[in-house]
């Protein structure tokens, strides 16, 4: 059903985007004067896009990002909260109730409470992702200050933002307790 909704949105946009402006001619630096190649990149890309083509690319990128984030979230949840938590200290129901009394009411109660694992693996993952985010931020800044070399902005920004996303998900997975509540509702 989700794929049908996505296709219902993307197909008309793709049709309009296909009717866009023709590609512009590439403007290049005279290589007899300079060795800088600002148009070189990992993938050959068009030089000019119409607004509708940009819209399709943005939609596809957002859906791909949503899929990547969902996969990453599930992966981290499985890595940080394995089904058998034999080594974890189990809190009593009374300790949980005392700690989360603000969450429970007459019509809402705690069904599942798994304490945060707070493992060394979580600290290592967060440390590695922090270093990776700093490296990508440095590369991004270095690319900005280098003359006529801006072709890797997107790659570095993607790496930086995905590292920051990984940090957020890692913190959630290893350092936040997992709580599920049930709530009685009147219909």
Residue 146: band (very low, low, confident or very high) from pLDDT cuts 50, 70, 90: confident
Q: In terms of domains, do 138 and 53 share one?
A: no
Q: Is the pLDDT of residue 148 over 60?
A: no
- Number of C-beta neighbours around residue 175 at 10 A: 15
User: Could you tell me if residue 75 is inside a domain?
Assistant: yes
Q: In terms of domains, do 100 and 182 share one?
A: yes
Per residue in 31-52, pLDDT (tens digit) is 676 666 655 666 666 666 677 7
User: Could you tell me if residue 38 is inside a domain?
Assistant: no
Phi-psi sector, 128: left (phi>0), alpha (psi -120 to 50), beta: alpha
Alpha helix locations (H) across 40-119? Answer: 51-80, 93-99
User: Could you tell me if residue 108 is inside a domain?
Assistant: yes
Q: In terms of domains, do 56 and 105 share one?
A: no
**pTM check: above 0.75:** no
User: Could you tell me if residue 183 is inside a domain?
Assistant: yes
pLDDT of residue 133: 94
pLDDT of residue 140: 85
User: Could you tell me if residue 41 is inside a domain?
Assistant: no
Integer Cα distance of 87 and 65 in angstroms: 35
Q: In terms of domains, do 52 and 138 share one?
A: no
Least confident of 100-109, 134-143, 156-165: 100-109
Q: In terms of domains, do 55 and 128 share one?
A: no
User: Could you tell me if residue 124 is inside a domain?
Assistant: yes
Q: Is the pLDDT of residue 14 over 80?
A: no
Q: In terms of domains, do 100 and 70 share one?
A: no
pLDDT of residue 85: 47
């Amino acid at each position: 059903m989700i794929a049908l909704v996505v296709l219902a949105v993307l197909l008309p946009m793709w049709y309009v985007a296909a009717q866009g402006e023709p590609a512009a001619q590439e403007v290049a630096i005279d290589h007899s004067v300079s060795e800088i190649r600002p148009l070189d990149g990992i993938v050959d890309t068009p030089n000019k896009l119409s607004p509708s083509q940009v819209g399709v690319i943005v939609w596809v990128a957002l859906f791909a990002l949503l899929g990547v984030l969902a996969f990453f979230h599930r992966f981290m949840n499985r890595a940080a909260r394995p089904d058998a938590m034999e080594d974890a200290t189990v809190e009593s129901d009374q300790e949980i109730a005392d700690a989360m009394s603000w969450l429970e009411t007459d019509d809402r109660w705690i069904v599942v409470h798994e304490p945060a694992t707070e493992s060394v693996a979580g600290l290592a993952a967060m440390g590695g992702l922090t270093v990776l985010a700093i490296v990508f931020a440095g590369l991004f800044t270095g690319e900005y200050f280098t003359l006529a070399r801006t072709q890797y902005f997107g790659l570095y920004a993607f790496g930086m933002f995905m590292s920051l996303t990984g940090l957020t998900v890692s913190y959630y997975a290893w350092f936040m307790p997992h709580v599920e509540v049930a709530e009685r509702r009147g219909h």
